[in-house]
Structures are given as C-alpha cells and as structure tokens.
C-alpha cells in the first residue's frame, strides 16, 4: 500500500512539473507571437518607424553611399526618394504615369535606366540613382525635393519633401553619424545564422572589409563612424541574417531583451556581430 501511495505521489509530482513546463513554454510562445517586429530610427525627440524589410533596404541604400564615399546628405536624398517611390520595397510594377516603372526607385527601362532585371536589383538600382545624383550640381545643399526631382523627373515633385525627416534619421544612423540611433524589435530567430552569409551581405553593401568569421561571430577591427554604420546596418538586417547581438564601442544590442542599445564592456576598436545557434 505504501509503495502504491509513493508511486501515485511521484506520478502526480511529475504531472505537475510537466504541466508547469508546458505552461511556461506556452507563455513564452505566445509572448513571441505578440511581438510586433519593427525598426525605429531616432533623432532628438523624433522617431520614425519602418517595417523590417523597409529598414533593410534603407540600410543597403545608405551603405552603398558609404561605400562610394558620398556624404550623408546623398543617403538622405536616396532613402527619402525610395520611400516616396516604392515605400522602400523592391516592387515589380509601376503605375498609370510610369507603367514600366520598377524597383526601389521606380526606374523605367523605357527611359534608359537599364533592363527590368537590372532596375529590380536593389544594388544596381541604388548605384544608378547615385550615378545620376552626383551629376546634379550642388545637390549637397539643395532642398531634398529639388535634388530628388532632378534625378527622378517625377509627375509629383513636391511629394519627396514629406519623406525628408525620415530619410535624414535613417541616413544619420546608418552612416554612423548618430550612435545608438537605430533599434529593431524582433522575435526570436527561427533559423541558425551563418557568419559567412553576414560577411557576404556586408561586402555587397559596403565593399571589402576586414571581417573575420569564426564560430557564431563576425568581427571587424574598425572604429568611429564606420563602426557604428556597420553595427546599425547589422541591426537593420538582423531579421534576415538571424543576428542575435551586436557589440560596438561600449554598447550592445541584444535581440532577446528588446531594450535597444545598452551600455556594455564592448571595446571601442571593433564591431562583433553574433548570429543564432543551430536549433537542438
């Protein structure tokens, strides 16, 4: 009888433990589904929210400006233009004004911008935009709507002005001139990250960099604005690249804590990007 009683008590205890574990897992799963994924760039008291895919495209556009040695103003103009033209999405259709318009900048093959395949390649499209922008005399000091119109020849030239503040916020963060200015709120990574994929994407955006991939990390020995440009680029691309943490110049961004940039012991001479581990 005692043995039976002990067995029953043990089974009840195991059931309680299993139930508690199930409850915790269920709560965690539900809390993850409640997370609204988004990215926010902050300048002063103003903040500007984008979806994660939009932020990744803003990061690419800005990184190419950095790669080309262009001023942050060029990136501001380009990001604002792409937001107005395509909502910062690589769309495959035009409108009644430009039925053959395509891509981030709604460039038209019929107007000499390139083939449809080219203008829907974000890297090609961005470089094509900058190729035209740098030929505009004094674009660095022009009103954004005037500089954008000089390139785009839009039917609605004044529309670019409404994207100026957002463009400036993302360009300032993603060129590294505003530190701790870009944060993305994300759910847990659903796949293992690949450091080599991070290096490949980074190289596409910024050109050749002193990046070393090892284990689950990518490390770059760089400082200053370039370090912050790369760090915040990594945050903007954290969803697609399964990035879980970024460390740079006394600050860390952690995907799980949803607290944005926090003070840390990260050294000032490097950027470390950590990706998610394989699922077990």
pLDDT tens-digit map of 164-176 = 999 999 999 999 9
Sort residue 217 into left (φ over 0), alpha (ψ -120 to 50) or beta.
beta
pLDDT of amino acid 99: 85
DSSP 3-state assignment of 50?
strand
What is the tally of helices (H) and strands (E) in the chain?
10, 9
Please list, in sequence order, all residues whose beta carbon lies within 8 angstroms of the beta carbon of residue 271, skipping any fewer than 6 positions away.
219, 220, 222, 227, 230, 231, 234, 246, 247, 248
pLDDT tens-digit map of 37-64 = 999 999 888 999 999 999 999 999 999 9
- 102 within 8 A of 128, measured Cβ to Cβ: no
The DSSP element (H or E) to which 217 belongs, if any, is: strand 217-220
- 69 within 8 A of 184, measured Cβ to Cβ: no
DSSP 3-state assignment of 159?
helix
Rounded mean pLDDT of the chain?
90
Please give the average per-residue pLDDT across 126-149, as a whole number.
97
pLDDT of amino acid 19: 52
The reported pTM is: 0.86
pLDDT tens-digit map of 92-123 = 887 655 788 999 999 999 999 999 999 999 99
> Is the confidence at residue 11, as pLDDT, over 90?
no
Please give the average per-residue pLDDT across 255-273, as a whole number.
95
Q: Count the neighbouring beta carbons within 10 Å of the beta carbon of residue 19.
A: 10
Q: Is 26 exposed, middle or buried (0-12, 13-18, 19+ CB in 10 A)?
A: exposed
> Is the confidence at residue 30, as pLDDT, over 70?
no
pLDDT of amino acid 23: 42
DSSP 3-state assignment of 223?
coil
pLDDT of amino acid 10: 66
Please give the average per-residue pLDDT across 128-132, as a whole number.
98
Sort residue 142 into left (φ over 0), alpha (ψ -120 to 50) or beta.
beta
Say how far apart CA 238 and CA 207 lie, in whole Å. Answer: 19
pLDDT tens-digit map of 175-225 = 999 999 999 999 999 999 999 999 999 999 999 999 999 999 999 999 999
> Is the confidence at residue 80, as pLDDT, over 80?
yes
Please list, in sequence order, all residues whose beta carbon lies within 8 angstroms of the beta carbon of residue 56, skipping any fewer than 6 positions away.
236, 237, 239, 240
> Given pLDDT bands bounded at 50, 70 and 90, which one contains residue 156?
confident
> Given pLDDT bands bounded at 50, 70 and 90, which one contains residue 28?
very low
Q: Is 87 exposed, middle or buried (0-12, 13-18, 19+ CB in 10 A)?
A: middle
pLDDT tens-digit map of 58-68 = 999 999 999 99
Please give the average per-residue pLDDT across 28-33, as a whole number.
52
pLDDT of amino acid 21: 47
> Is the confidence at residue 24, as pLDDT, over 70?
no
pLDDT greater at residue 30 or residue 202 = 202
List the end-to-end C-alpha distance of the chain, in Å, as a whole number.
Answer: 42
pLDDT of amino acid 212: 96
pLDDT of amino acid 4: 62
Say how far apart CA 39 and CA 238 lie, in whole Å. Answer: 10
> Is the confidence at residue 18, as pLDDT, over 90?
no
How remote is the C-alpha of 62 from its chain's centroid?
10
For residue 150 the two structure tokens come to 């000089």
């Amino acid at each position: 009888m005692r043995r039976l009683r002990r067995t029953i008590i043990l089974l009840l205890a195991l059931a309680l433990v299993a139930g508690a574990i199930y409850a915790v897992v269920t709560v965690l799963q539900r809390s993850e589904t409640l997370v609204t994924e988004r990215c926010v760039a902050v300048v002063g008291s103003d903040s500007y929210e984008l979806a994660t895919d939009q932020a990744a495209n803003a990061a690419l556009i800005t990184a190419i400006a950095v790669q080309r040695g262009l001023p942050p103003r060029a990136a501001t103009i380009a990001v604002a233009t792409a937001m107005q033209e395509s909502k910062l999405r690589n769309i495959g259709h035009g409108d009644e004004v430009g039925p053959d318009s395509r891509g981030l900048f709604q460039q038209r093959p019929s107007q000499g911008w390139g083939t449809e395949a080219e203008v829907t390649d974000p890297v090609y499209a961005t470089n094509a935009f900058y190729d035209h922008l740098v030929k505009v005399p004094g674009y660095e000091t022009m009103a954004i709507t005037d500089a954008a119109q000089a390139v785009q020849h839009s039917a609605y030239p004044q529309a670019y002005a409404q994207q100026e503040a957002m463009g400036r916020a993302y360009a300032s963060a993603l060129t590294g001139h505003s530190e701790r200015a870009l944060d993305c709120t994300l759910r847990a990574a659903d796949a293992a990250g690949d450091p080599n994929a991070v290096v490949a994407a980074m190289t596409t955006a910024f050109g050749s960099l002193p990046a070393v991939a090892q284990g689950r990390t990518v490390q770059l020995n760089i400082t200053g604005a370039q370090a912050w440009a790369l760090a915040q680029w990594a945050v903007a691309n954290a969803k697609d690249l399964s990035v879980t943490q970024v460390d740079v110049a006394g600050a860390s961004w952690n995907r799980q804590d949803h607290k944005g940039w926090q003070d840390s012991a990260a050294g000032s001479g490097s950027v470390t990007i950590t990706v998610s581990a394989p699922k077990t």
